[in-house]
Structure 1
Amino acid sequence: MKRINLVLLVVLSVLGTPLLAADSISVNELKQAMQADRAPIIIDVRNEDEYLAGHIPGAIMVPAKQMDQHLDMLKQYRKQEIVLYCVSGRRASAAATLLEDAGFKKVRLLEGNYPGWEAAQ
Protein backbone atom coordinates (compact mmCIF):
# COMPACT_ATOMS: atom_id res chain seq x y z
CA MET A 1 0.00 0.00 0.00
CA LYS A 2 2.86 2.39 0.81
CA ARG A 3 4.34 1.75 -2.63
CA ILE A 4 1.04 2.63 -4.35
CA ASN A 5 0.79 5.83 -2.33
CA LEU A 6 4.36 6.74 -3.28
CA VAL A 7 3.68 6.14 -6.97
CA LEU A 8 0.50 8.23 -6.81
CA LEU A 9 2.37 11.03 -5.05
CA VAL A 10 5.09 11.06 -7.72
CA VAL A 11 2.55 11.02 -10.57
CA LEU A 12 0.52 13.84 -9.04
CA SER A 13 3.59 15.96 -8.42
CA VAL A 14 4.73 15.53 -12.03
CA LEU A 15 1.29 16.40 -13.39
CA GLY A 16 1.05 19.45 -11.18
CA THR A 17 4.28 21.06 -12.38
CA PRO A 18 4.74 22.92 -15.67
CA LEU A 19 6.56 21.18 -18.44
CA LEU A 20 10.20 22.25 -18.62
CA ALA A 21 11.38 21.27 -22.05
CA ALA A 22 13.52 24.06 -23.40
CA ASP A 23 16.19 26.45 -22.18
CA SER A 24 15.14 29.97 -21.30
CA ILE A 25 16.06 33.48 -22.38
CA SER A 26 15.59 36.63 -20.33
CA VAL A 27 13.66 39.63 -21.54
CA ASN A 28 16.89 41.65 -21.53
CA GLU A 29 18.73 39.05 -23.62
CA LEU A 30 15.87 39.00 -26.13
CA LYS A 31 15.79 42.80 -26.32
CA GLN A 32 19.56 42.93 -26.89
CA ALA A 33 19.33 40.35 -29.67
CA MET A 34 16.49 42.29 -31.29
CA GLN A 35 18.43 45.58 -31.10
CA ALA A 36 21.50 43.93 -32.63
CA ASP A 37 19.46 42.50 -35.53
CA ARG A 38 20.06 38.98 -34.20
CA ALA A 39 16.47 38.39 -33.16
CA PRO A 40 15.38 34.78 -32.94
CA ILE A 41 12.08 33.62 -34.37
CA ILE A 42 9.58 34.73 -31.73
CA ILE A 43 6.36 32.75 -31.46
CA ASP A 44 3.40 33.89 -29.38
CA VAL A 45 1.43 30.77 -28.47
CA ARG A 46 -1.50 32.64 -26.92
CA ASN A 47 -4.88 32.88 -28.62
CA GLU A 48 -5.79 35.54 -31.18
CA ASP A 49 -7.55 37.86 -28.73
CA GLU A 50 -4.52 37.85 -26.43
CA TYR A 51 -2.18 38.46 -29.37
CA LEU A 52 -4.26 41.36 -30.70
CA ALA A 53 -4.36 42.94 -27.24
CA GLY A 54 -0.56 43.22 -27.36
CA HIS A 55 2.46 41.17 -28.39
CA ILE A 56 6.21 41.35 -28.79
CA PRO A 57 7.14 43.19 -32.01
CA GLY A 58 7.80 40.74 -34.83
CA ALA A 59 6.20 37.80 -33.01
CA ILE A 60 4.38 35.19 -35.07
CA MET A 61 1.07 34.04 -33.60
CA VAL A 62 0.71 30.25 -33.49
CA PRO A 63 -1.74 29.26 -30.74
CA ALA A 64 -0.42 26.38 -28.65
CA LYS A 65 -3.53 24.31 -29.36
CA GLN A 66 -2.81 24.59 -33.11
CA MET A 67 0.98 24.18 -33.01
CA ASP A 68 0.89 20.65 -34.43
CA GLN A 69 -1.16 21.90 -37.39
CA HIS A 70 1.53 24.49 -38.22
CA LEU A 71 4.61 22.26 -38.10
CA ASP A 72 4.94 22.23 -41.90
CA MET A 73 4.96 26.04 -41.99
CA LEU A 74 7.45 26.18 -39.10
CA LYS A 75 9.88 23.64 -40.64
CA GLN A 76 11.72 26.50 -42.33
CA TYR A 77 12.85 27.62 -38.85
CA ARG A 78 13.99 24.16 -37.65
CA LYS A 79 17.69 25.15 -37.41
CA GLN A 80 17.10 28.68 -36.11
CA GLU A 81 16.68 29.82 -32.55
CA ILE A 82 13.01 29.99 -31.59
CA VAL A 83 11.63 31.79 -28.53
CA LEU A 84 8.15 30.92 -27.28
CA TYR A 85 5.97 32.80 -24.84
CA CYS A 86 2.44 32.87 -23.46
CA VAL A 87 1.09 34.26 -20.17
CA SER A 88 2.20 31.77 -17.53
CA GLY A 89 4.62 29.49 -19.38
CA ARG A 90 2.39 26.43 -19.45
CA ARG A 91 1.31 26.73 -23.10
CA ALA A 92 4.79 27.78 -24.19
CA SER A 93 6.32 24.76 -22.43
CA ALA A 94 3.87 22.40 -24.09
CA ALA A 95 4.58 23.98 -27.48
CA ALA A 96 8.34 23.73 -26.86
CA THR A 97 8.01 20.01 -26.16
CA LEU A 98 6.05 19.54 -29.38
CA LEU A 99 8.66 21.43 -31.41
CA GLU A 100 11.57 19.58 -29.83
CA ASP A 101 9.85 16.24 -30.50
CA ALA A 102 9.48 17.37 -34.14
CA GLY A 103 13.24 17.94 -34.44
CA PHE A 104 13.63 21.62 -33.59
CA LYS A 105 16.97 22.03 -31.82
CA LYS A 106 17.13 25.63 -30.55
CA VAL A 107 13.86 26.19 -28.68
CA ARG A 108 13.85 28.61 -25.75
CA LEU A 109 11.19 29.93 -23.39
CA LEU A 110 10.92 33.61 -22.54
CA GLU A 111 11.47 34.13 -18.81
CA GLY A 112 8.46 35.91 -17.36
CA ASN A 113 6.54 35.34 -20.61
CA TYR A 114 4.44 38.24 -21.92
CA PRO A 115 3.81 39.77 -18.49
CA GLY A 116 7.58 39.91 -18.00
CA TRP A 117 7.99 41.61 -21.38
CA GLU A 118 5.32 44.20 -20.50
CA ALA A 119 6.83 44.86 -17.08
CA ALA A 120 10.22 45.59 -18.66
CA GLN A 121 8.81 48.28 -20.95
Structure 2
Amino acid sequence: MKRFSLGLLVLLSTLTAPLWAADSISINELKQAMQADKAPIIIDVRDEDEYLAGHIPGAIMVPAKQMDQHLDMLKQYRKQEIVLYCVSGRRASAAATVLEDAGFKKVRLLEGNYPGWSEVQ
Protein backbone atom coordinates (compact mmCIF):
# COMPACT_ATOMS: atom_id res chain seq x y z
CA MET A 1 0.00 0.00 0.00
CA LYS A 2 2.88 2.39 0.77
CA ARG A 3 4.34 1.82 -2.70
CA PHE A 4 0.99 2.65 -4.30
CA SER A 5 0.72 5.85 -2.25
CA LEU A 6 4.27 6.88 -3.12
CA GLY A 7 3.65 6.17 -6.80
CA LEU A 8 0.46 8.19 -6.73
CA LEU A 9 2.25 11.07 -5.00
CA VAL A 10 5.00 11.07 -7.64
CA LEU A 11 2.43 10.99 -10.44
CA LEU A 12 0.44 13.86 -8.95
CA SER A 13 3.53 16.00 -8.44
CA THR A 14 4.50 15.41 -12.06
CA LEU A 15 1.05 16.40 -13.29
CA THR A 16 1.00 19.61 -11.24
CA ALA A 17 4.56 20.64 -12.10
CA PRO A 18 4.89 23.61 -14.47
CA LEU A 19 5.18 22.84 -18.16
CA TRP A 20 8.49 24.69 -18.41
CA ALA A 21 11.62 25.18 -16.41
CA ALA A 22 12.50 28.64 -17.73
CA ASP A 23 11.98 31.71 -15.58
CA SER A 24 9.47 34.33 -16.62
CA ILE A 25 9.59 38.06 -17.16
CA SER A 26 6.67 40.44 -16.91
CA ILE A 27 5.67 42.74 -19.73
CA ASN A 28 6.52 45.74 -17.55
CA GLU A 29 10.00 44.38 -16.79
CA LEU A 30 10.61 43.81 -20.49
CA LYS A 31 9.39 47.31 -21.39
CA GLN A 32 11.64 48.86 -18.74
CA ALA A 33 14.65 46.96 -20.05
CA MET A 34 13.85 48.04 -23.60
CA GLN A 35 13.45 51.69 -22.57
CA ALA A 36 16.78 51.56 -20.73
CA ASP A 37 18.52 50.13 -23.82
CA LYS A 38 19.14 46.92 -21.88
CA ALA A 39 16.72 44.77 -23.83
CA PRO A 40 17.32 41.05 -23.84
CA ILE A 41 17.31 39.08 -27.07
CA ILE A 42 13.60 38.75 -27.84
CA ILE A 43 12.53 35.76 -29.90
CA ASP A 44 9.04 35.39 -31.36
CA VAL A 45 8.47 31.64 -31.76
CA ARG A 46 5.20 31.98 -33.65
CA ASP A 47 4.85 31.21 -37.35
CA GLU A 48 5.74 33.76 -40.02
CA ASP A 49 2.17 34.88 -40.72
CA GLU A 50 1.61 35.57 -37.00
CA TYR A 51 4.92 37.48 -36.79
CA LEU A 52 4.08 39.59 -39.84
CA ALA A 53 0.66 40.43 -38.39
CA GLY A 54 2.41 42.06 -35.41
CA HIS A 55 5.33 41.47 -33.08
CA ILE A 56 7.33 43.05 -30.28
CA PRO A 57 9.75 45.66 -31.68
CA GLY A 58 13.19 44.17 -32.22
CA ALA A 59 11.99 40.57 -31.91
CA ILE A 60 13.70 37.91 -33.99
CA MET A 61 11.37 35.36 -35.58
CA VAL A 62 12.38 31.74 -35.01
CA PRO A 63 9.35 29.43 -35.19
CA ALA A 64 9.30 26.99 -32.28
CA LYS A 65 9.10 23.99 -34.58
CA GLN A 66 12.37 25.12 -36.23
CA MET A 67 14.25 26.15 -33.08
CA ASP A 68 16.67 23.20 -33.21
CA GLN A 69 17.54 24.10 -36.81
CA HIS A 70 18.58 27.62 -35.77
CA LEU A 71 20.82 26.77 -32.82
CA ASP A 72 23.98 27.59 -34.79
CA MET A 73 22.65 31.06 -35.59
CA LEU A 74 21.50 31.58 -32.00
CA LYS A 75 24.69 30.37 -30.29
CA GLN A 76 26.07 33.93 -30.41
CA TYR A 77 23.41 34.75 -27.77
CA ARG A 78 24.16 31.77 -25.50
CA LYS A 79 25.40 33.95 -22.61
CA GLN A 80 22.79 36.68 -23.02
CA GLU A 81 19.31 36.86 -21.60
CA ILE A 82 16.74 35.55 -24.06
CA VAL A 83 12.99 36.17 -23.82
CA LEU A 84 10.63 33.92 -25.76
CA TYR A 85 6.96 34.48 -26.53
CA CYS A 86 4.13 33.06 -28.62
CA VAL A 87 0.34 33.22 -28.17
CA SER A 88 -0.38 30.91 -25.24
CA GLY A 89 3.04 29.94 -23.92
CA ARG A 90 3.10 26.37 -25.20
CA ARG A 91 5.39 26.99 -28.18
CA ALA A 92 7.59 29.32 -26.15
CA SER A 93 7.90 26.65 -23.48
CA ALA A 94 8.88 24.02 -26.04
CA ALA A 95 11.42 26.40 -27.57
CA ALA A 96 12.83 27.20 -24.11
CA THR A 97 13.41 23.50 -23.53
CA VAL A 98 15.32 23.23 -26.81
CA LEU A 99 17.50 26.22 -25.90
CA GLU A 100 18.12 25.06 -22.33
CA ASP A 101 19.03 21.57 -23.55
CA ALA A 102 21.53 23.24 -25.92
CA GLY A 103 23.23 25.04 -23.03
CA PHE A 104 21.48 28.41 -23.00
CA LYS A 105 21.32 29.52 -19.36
CA LYS A 106 19.30 32.76 -19.32
CA VAL A 107 16.06 31.79 -21.05
CA ARG A 108 12.87 33.50 -19.89
CA LEU A 109 9.25 33.33 -20.97
CA LEU A 110 7.17 36.47 -21.41
CA GLU A 111 4.21 36.50 -19.04
CA GLY A 112 1.04 37.07 -21.04
CA ASN A 113 2.88 36.33 -24.29
CA TYR A 114 1.98 38.39 -27.37
CA PRO A 115 -1.70 38.87 -26.46
CA GLY A 116 -0.60 40.44 -23.16
CA TRP A 117 1.92 42.65 -24.94
CA SER A 118 -0.58 43.84 -27.54
CA GLU A 119 -3.16 44.65 -24.84
CA VAL A 120 -0.89 47.24 -23.22
CA GLN A 121 0.25 48.88 -26.45
Same fold (TM over 0.5): yes
SS at match of 1:84: strand
Q: Where does residue 49 of structure 1 map in the other structure?
A: 49
Paired residue type of 1:116:
G
- The 3 A distance-change label for structure 1 pair 111 and 49 is same
Pairs aligned (count): 117
Shift of 1:17: 7.5
What TM-score does the superposition give when structure 1 sets the normalisation length? 0.87
What TM-score does the superposition give when structure 2 sets the normalisation length? 0.87
Q: Where does residue 105 of structure 2 map in the other structure?
A: 105
2:80, 2:44 → 1: CA distance?
16
The alignment-based identity, stated in percent, is 85
Q: Where does residue 117 of structure 2 map in the other structure?
A: 117
Structure 1, 18-27 or 77-86: larger mean CA deviation: 18-27
SS at match of 1:94: helix
Listed as ranges, the gaps of 5+ residues in structure 1 are: none
Paired residue type of 2:44:
D
Please list the CA deviations of residues 2-44 of structure 1 after superposition, one character each: whole Å capped at 9, or x if unmatched.
Answer: x5xx76xx38x73x98622200000000000000000000000
Shift of 1:85: 0.1
| Aligned 8 A contact 1:79 1:106 in 2 | yes
1:94, 1:19 → 2: CA distance?
9
SS at match of 1:24: strand
Superposition RMSD in Å: 2.1
Stretches of 4+ aligned residues off by more than 6 angstroms:
none
1:32, 1:74 → 2: CA distance?
24
Paired residue type of 2:73:
M
